[in-house]
Structure 1
Amino acid sequence: MPAGRRAVLAAGAAVLVAGALGGEEWHDRRHTAGGGTSGTADPATVRAVQAVLDRRAAAVLARDQAALAATVLPTAQALRDSGAAMLGNLAQVPVGAWTYRLQALDAYPLPPVIGAEGAARLATRVELSYRLSGFDSEPVTATQYLTFTRSGSGGGTGSGGGWLLSSDSDHVGGDVQLWDLGPVTVVQGRSSLVLGLRDQGTLQQLADEADRAVPAVSAVWGTGWGQRTVLLAPLGLDQFGRLLGADPSGYTAIAAVTTGELGAAEAGRTERITVNPQVWDTLNALGRRVVTTHETTHVATRAITEQWTPRWLSEGAANWTGYLGTGRTPQQIAPELLADLRAGRIPARLPDDASFDGSAADLPQAYEQAWFACRSIVARHGQKALVALYRAVAAAGGSGGAAAALDTALRRSTGVGTSAFTAQWVADLRYAAR
């Protein structure tokens, strides 16, 4: 799902200007079926390049700078330096597993190299898989685009052997990791791991909030999830955007984003919560607590969130959980929405998925409407009905379309379909505006 959420900011006497709080950005990072390059690739070349990748992986795990440098072309000094820097940046990170897998040998057009016209080169797409000890029961994967050059003289790509890494910048793309950006400081809490480029105090604050959020979320959504979180804390908005692989200008008002894979098949993964420092630093204590609980809800519910789960439900449920127990009133949680209602601007339908994009003009209202929809379910049927609805949407399947899945799930969990529920929600909105 696309990310989108505005921050809850402090205003006056701790009154929250309630916008949205964070976001989901679900990437398909699953392993490629079959686990290798196409059958047309020369087997000797595939084995030779994979052997270099295996040596690189072993060097990273051993934190062996010399072994890592030995996989790089001697003339590619900048690449050797960046490899050494990466090992230094990873010094505190509890890496439990690290592997590379060759995916393609001709993944992008190669730029010309002056003075090396006769050198054979390969434009590869590589999958990095890694696990953080104590937190990842399944690997997290990332894509890299690496150029290999055949070292020495003679021999074409079909003769195998002799390949060394020569560039990681010939293709724009690939996934940026936090350790690509600078030295990573690690703070581990009771149920959280914070990896950051920020000061120790800020990272400890994040860990404390994450540790508090885990039991709060489990109290609503149960304990059938990993009950642990990994948070990434970059230094600035530009780094935040690079980690997400997105234009940072679209995230200037988003406090945090949760990334991961959807569905029960990926239930073993611990997803990442990436914190936007530009917004996080403007939040008051309550805002930070709500944001962290909101994002932790996305982690807890990710295995029961499918492509057909409506954004109003996933974001509204996260907002509901985030604000639960804070003592905030609807007027404090949804001021923009209530202002619209009192001005006669009554929504006729639940917000669609596009309403939650970061560039949407009425983003605060979309999130407030979503929160209010979940509030209506809880007020009429209880909190267990909200959890049951969320699960029922996932179980309904998407073959009949998202609208059909929602209607079926609503009938099963609340006894009314989408039209009747929407009418109830609008009636509750009108009552709140009185």
Structure 2
Amino acid sequence: MAGLSLFVVAAVVVALVQGGRHDVEPATVDVPRASPRDAAEALASLVDGVGSRDADALASLAPAGNAVVGEQLAGIAGTAAALDLRAVSARYVDQVGTVASDGSWSGTVDLTWRVARLDAAPARAEVVVTFVPDDGRLAVAGFSAGGAARVPLWLRGRLAVATAPGVLVMVDGTGRQAEAEAEAVLRRVERGIDVVRRVLPQRIDPVVVEVPASAGDLDETLGVRPGTYAGIAAVTAPVGKAAEGPVHVFVNPDLTAGLRRAGAQVVMSHELVHIATDAVRRPVEPWLLEGFADYVALRDAQLPDRVTLGRAIEAARRDGVPSSLPSRDDFDTRARDLQARYEEAWLACRVLAERLGEPRLVAAYEGASRGVPLDRALRQAGLSTAELTALWRAELRRLVG
């Protein structure tokens, strides 16, 4: 059976018979075992197919008769071309679980890739690949997440891709609807860059946005527990596990699909603030991190407080005005009243800007992002944490009425 190593078990059957012990001749039992060598060969063929953008070669890696997997693998060729994927490698690491009765098995694979001209360094992640013995060879039957593993969006097959100078958007899906979604997201990014530059004139690094097909797929793309980002409209995060790797914006389509145009734009502008300030790699207190991003995104939105602060007002009426600014735990993606905490953080930044002026809010954020202790950064801007908290609580009490 190709793709499996066979090892021999000498099964000694002992029978008890009248008059004493009787040993039966050993029987040979063939037990299938995963073959790292064959897996490495299949992965080498996968990498070659991606590098050459050869749809037929990639489709041939699927199990015979499995049109779904064949189409998925063939679609990777077009996606690799559209993204101009470079530095693609796949190294077999270890077996996951046991070999199934049909000989199929899974293995962890160390994968690297880079979106040319936009990613400064390759991304690196672990992916679980399923292998199946198929007519004298080892076929690739699919990709999955689990543990620390993830499924990069480009491995899902053909994607809709839209580009502009310095910007790339990839959406899981094909056809006019997916293409229209990619173009719509691209326009949001372009408008969002203008929004951010009104407050932060520095150059925004190249922007790559990934839109999986669902919230569940978003979790798999990021390698997190199911449901982690079910309540998050978008997140700016590293593409893989390497600290020096690229950072992309990931969109939750299950939430953004229900937003009005203005809401979807605020979500994108918020994430672009994180890109512009390299927030993923800088130690900023969560309330300032998220509140500042919302301040920039909402600065010119001209929305009433009942819209931008509705959840915070509701929570304060129910539980009372909080005694302190939101904590790190308050921003856990599964936390109760998460949206209210975001709104409270935004209100704190708005209060600071109204009291001291926008330049000092920016200075406080930049100081904190350089590692200056938060209270010192606020004092340098003109308010202590205690003073800001008192002003913030008073404003929230006024809004509650």
* Bigger relative contact order (CA 8 A; separation at least 6): 1
Bigger fraction of residues in strand: 2
Q: Is the 8 A contact 2:42 2:140 kept in 1?
A: no
Equivalent residue runs for 1:7-156 within 5 Å: 53-65=43-55, 67-68=57-58, 76-77=63-64, 82=69, 85-92=72-79, 93-102=82-91, 104=93, 106=94, 108-113=96-101, 124-146=107-129
Q: What runs of 5+ residues in structure 2 fail to find an aligned partner?
A: 1-34
1:128, 1:144 within 8 Å by CA — same for their partners in 2?
yes
Please state whether the residue corresponding to 1:60 is helix, strand or coil: helix
Distance in 2, matches of 1:383 and 1:252, equals 33
SS in 2 for 1:138: coil
Letter in 2 for 1:96: L
* In 2, Cα distance between equivalents of 1:51 and 1:208: 42
Q: Match for 1:217 among 196, 208, 219?
A: 196
How far, CA to CA, are the matches of 1:48 and 1:319 in structure 2? 51
TM-score by length of 2: 0.74
Does 2:374 correspond to 1:406? yes
Q: Partners of 1:91 and 1:261 in 2: how far apart?
A: 20
Deviations 1:262-316 (A, max 9, x none): 9xx74x83x322222222222112112111111211222235743x422111111
Residue segments in structure 1 that go unaligned for 5+ positions in a row: 1-44, 154-162, 398-404
Residue 297 of structure 1: aligned partner: 273
2:339 partner SS = helix
Shift of 1:211: 0.8
Query: In the aligned structure 2, how far is the partner of 1:370 from the partner of 1:134?
Result: 35
* Aligned-partner Cα distance in 1 for 2:84–2:98: 32
C-alpha deviation, 1:393, in angstroms: 2.1
Query: How many positions carry a matched residue from both structures?
Result: 358
Matches of residues 111-260 of structure 1 in structure 2 within 5 Å?
Answer: 111-113=99-101, 124-146=107-129, 172-173=146-147, 174-196=149-171, 197=173, 198-226=177-205, 228-246=206-224, 249=227, 251-260=229-238
State the alpha-carbon separation in 2 of the partners of residues 253 and 86 from structure 1: 31
Deviates more, 1:208-217 or 1:423-432: 423-432
1:337 aligns with 2:316: no
Deviation at 1:383, TM superposition (A): 2.1
Instruction: State the shift of 1:334 in Å.
Output: 0.7
Structure 1 residues 171 and 221 mapped into 2: Cα distance closer, same or farther (>3 Å)? closer
CA deviation after TM superposition for structure 1 residue 319, in Å: 0.8
- Residues 123 and 239 in structure 2, CA contact (< 8 A), matched pair in contact too: no
CA distance in structure 1 between the partners assigned to 2:306 and 2:117 by the alignment: 42
SS at match of 2:278: helix
Q: Which whole-Å CA distance do the structure 2 matches of 1:138 and 1:223 have between them?
A: 21
Cα distance change on mapping 1:236 and 1:352 into 2, 3 Å: same
Task: Give CA deviations for 1:41-66 in whole Å, capped at 9, x if unaligned.
Answer: xxxx9999767644432221102356
Identity of aligned residues (%): 28
Shift of 1:346: 1.5
CA distance in 1, matches of 2:90, 2:139: 14
Call closer, same or farther: CA 1:248–1:283 in 2, change over 3 Å: farther
Q: Distance in 2 between matches of 1:302 and 1:67?
A: 39
CA distance in 2, matches of 1:147, 1:87: 17
